[in-house]
Amino acid sequence: EDQVTQSPEALRLQEGESSSLNCSYTVSGLRGLFWYRQDPGKGPEFLFTLYSAGEEKEKERLKATLTKKESFLHITAPKPEDSATYLCAVLVPNTGNQFYFGTGTSLTVIP
């Protein structure tokens, strides 16, 4: 069965303390892996799309990487405004444009 697993479930960082979030998947024939940020009470906002192993994308303090089995979201010198839940999702072939989501990592950055 196709699965997407995110770890850790929750992460507390001091401001400036860099870390990484993990998204592992067991999907065959990956067509794309997507990272989203979700603030409390709001819909997810798109961050990155990764298509193939070895690919990297960056945006401000965030950097996403992809291997054949997992993706990492690296957060460098985080600020309190980076506090949010980060979701990853994969697009699976032959599913009618359906995404499979992980359950997310809740990040709290303490000033």
Where does this chain bind another protein (CB under 8 A)? 31-32, 34, 36, 41-46, 49, 51, 87, 89, 91, 96-99, 101-104
Task: Work out how close the CB of 107 gets to another protein at its nearest, in angstroms, rounded to a whole number.
Answer: 16
Question: What sections of the chain are H helices per DSSP?
Answer: none
The β-bridge relationship of strands 105-110 and 10-14 is parallel
Identity of the residue, 18 or 26, whose beta carbon is nearer to another protein in the bound complex: 26
Identity of the residue, 76 or 100, whose beta carbon is nearer to another protein in the bound complex: 100
Q: What tokens appear for 19 in the block? A: 């870390």
Q: Give me the residues paired with residue 23 across strands.
A: 6, 71
State how far the Cα of 54 lies from the Cα of 18, in Å rounded to an integer. Answer: 21
Task: Work out how close the CB of 48 gets to another protein at its nearest, in angstroms, rounded to a whole number.
Answer: 9
Which of helix, strand or coil describes residue 51?
coil
CB 109 within 8 A of CB 11: no
Task: Work out how close the CB of 17 gets to another protein at its nearest, in angstroms, rounded to a whole number.
Answer: 26
Task: Work out how close the CB of 64 gets to another protein at its nearest, in angstroms, rounded to a whole number.
Answer: 13
Identity of the residue, 4 or 13, whose beta carbon is nearer to another protein in the bound complex: 4
State how far the Cα of 26 lies from the Cα of 12, in Å rounded to an integer. Answer: 27
Identity of the residue, 91 or 109, whose beta carbon is nearer to another protein in the bound complex: 91
